[in-house]
Amino acid sequence: LFRHRSGGVDRDMLSRGSFAIDADTGRVLEAELTAGGPPPTFSTRLSSRYEENAALGLLVPVEMQERIWQPHRPKDDHLEVTSSYSNFRRFQVTVDEQIEMSK
């Protein structure tokens, strides 16, 4: 359940989602979430696609798509965004600390 505020009123938005799962490994390859409610609520769809990154040895998000629209006003503006991700790196930190005990 999603909720958004419109005109000072909280409005519930029912949601549903799906996953594309690799049958052999159980890894999530794609995910999609859709949410919407009755007018004047908007609708939204978010989807993500993941691929294996050989250098890191794990799945990384390579693309995300987002769409927001008002089903009760189909001729009005809507928003469509596609984000692509690349150049993944492993974040590593090395800490070296020496503590001298006072006598």
DSSP annotation of 76: S
DSSP annotation of 35: E
* pTM attached to this predicted model: 0.74
Task: Return left, alpha or beta for 74; rule: phi > 0 is left, psi -120 to 50 is alpha, else beta.
Answer: alpha
Residues 67-82 pLDDT 10s: 998 888 878 889 999 9
Contact yes or no for 71/44 (Cβ under 8 A): no
Average pLDDT of the residues of the chain: 90
Q: How far from chain centre, in Å, is Cα 32?
A: 8
